[in-house]
Amino acid sequence: MAVDPLFAHIAIGGMNHHTADMDMLEQFRFGDEEQFLADIQVHFKGAILLQTCNRVEILVQGTGAGLTEYLHELGRASFEVREDLDAIRHLLEVACGIDSMIVGEDQILGQLKKALAAAQTAGACSPLIEQCVNKAVHVGVEVRRRTEINRGAVSIGSAAVTLAEELLGTLTGRHILVVGGGEIGMLVTQALAAKDLTAIYVANRTYARAVQLASKIGGKAVTMAEMHRYLVLSDVVISCTSAPHPIIRCEELKEVMKGRCWPLEGHPRPLILIDIAQPRDVEVGADQIDGVHLCTIDNLRTISQNNLDYRKSEASRAQTYIEEELNQFVQLINRKAADDHLSMLHSWAEQIRVRERDRALARLGSEDQRAVAVVDDLTRVLVKKLLTDATFSIRASAECGEMEAAASLVHAITQGEKLCIQKKE
Residue list, annotated binding site for substrate: 52-55, 100, 105-107, 111
Question: Cα-atom radius of gyration of the chain, to the nearest Å?
Answer: 28
The answer to whether the CB of 280 falls within 8 A of the CB of 273 is no
What is the sign, positive or negative, of the torsion defined by CA atoms of 342, 345, 348, 350?
negative
Helices 312-337 and 339-364: angle between axes, nearest 10 degrees: 30
The answer to whether the CB of 118 falls within 8 A of the CB of 37 is yes
Residue 157: left (phi > 0), alpha (psi -120 to 50), or beta?
alpha
Of the residues 53, 132, 240, 295, only one is catalytic, namely 53
**Is 53 among the residues known to form the active site?**
yes
- Cross-strand partners of 268: 261
Whether omega before 127 lies within 30 degrees of 0, making that bond cis, reads no
* CA gap 409, 244 in Å, rounded: 53
Residue 270: left (phi > 0), alpha (psi -120 to 50), or beta?
beta
* CA gap 190, 161 in Å, rounded: 10
The answer to whether the CB of 230 falls within 8 A of the CB of 203 is yes
What is the sign, positive or negative, of the torsion defined by CA atoms of 322, 328, 331, 337?
negative
Alpha helix stretches (DSSP H) within 221-272: 227-233, 250-259
Classify strands 220-222 and 199-203 as parallel, antiparallel or unpaired: parallel
CA-nearest of 146, 86, 136, 82 to 329 is: 136
CA-nearest of 65, 54, 67, 34 to 94 is: 54
DSSP symbols for 90-145:
HHHHHHHTTTSSSTT-SHHHHHHHHHHHHHHHHT---HHHHHHHHHHHHHHHHHHH
Q: Give the residue numbers marked as catalytic.
A: 53
